[in-house]
Structure 1
């Protein structure tokens, strides 16, 4: 057989002894710190997972709170918009009724004013007609009464009219 393929018994024994010494040294000095580091890493990972789960629950609670607050804000906005719309409608209706009342009042005032001015104009026309009639009558009488005969005839006519009435 080929000496490279077949192991030498002496070499094999020394390799086993060296392996056992390295194993003992590793067990005595390195095994405990490696295991402690692995346990610490496992604990850190478990703690991080617990904290992530806690953060996830807190995020869900915050999300539900935010959704609730958002719904409340929407409801409040709708209520405010409804109140503003009702107030605007009320203001418009009030303004319309006031304008209507003011218009009716102004029409009534105009009607009364027109009626008063109509009466005043009629009175003035009557007064002017009376004054004009008196002026015309004076001029006619002056003209007719310039002679004495006409004056006596007129007095006689008036006297006869007063006895008849």
Structure 2
């Protein structure tokens, strides 16, 4: 350290101080402003990016809220459509059941009418056959000269044995 103090030159010290001050002045004049401008631009860019990210975040939240609302509306509409479809299905089933019951009742009535008609026709046919048989019996009885009751009874029994109802 002694050697440094012995080698110290005030002219050199002043000259180096002046050069240092000139360099600082030049740095402030030409380099400091661009560096500060560059830092400010960078800071503004970062702040802009942060603001844009915040705006995007808010926009995403708004979109999510809108999507949730649309989803809820779609679910409500789906539930309404399903309810309407179920009601329509139940109505169609009830209508088909009523129509089938009406057709079944009509078929039953027609069947009963047909049975009644067949019954009347069968009774009329039986009456015709009984009348025909009666006429045949009377005719056979008249042909035979029947003086005797025993003969008449025997003839009636024979004829009844020959007759079969269809």
Structure 1 counterpart of 2:158: none
Structure 2 counterpart of 1:109: 110
Higher RCO, 1 or 2 (CA under 8 Å, sep at least 6)? 2
Q: How many residues align?
A: 145
Structure 2 counterpart of 1:22: 23
**Counterparts in 2 of 1:19 and 1:8: CA distance versus 1, 3 Å:** farther
Map 1:4-153; keep pairs closer than 5 Å: 9-10=8-9, 16-144=17-145
Question: How far apart are the structure 2 equivalents of 1:135 and 1:33?
Answer: 146
Question: How far apart are the structure 2 equivalents of 1:97 and 1:131?
Answer: 50
> What is the TM-score with the length of structure 1 in the denominator?
0.76
CA RMSD of aligned residues (A): 2.5
> What is the TM-score with the length of structure 2 in the denominator?
0.75
Structure 2 counterpart of 1:155: none
| Unaligned segments of structure 2, at least 5 residues | 148-166
| Unaligned segments of structure 1, at least 5 residues | 150-165
SS in 1 for 2:144: helix
Question: How far apart are the structure 1 equivalents of 2:138 and 2:63?
Answer: 109
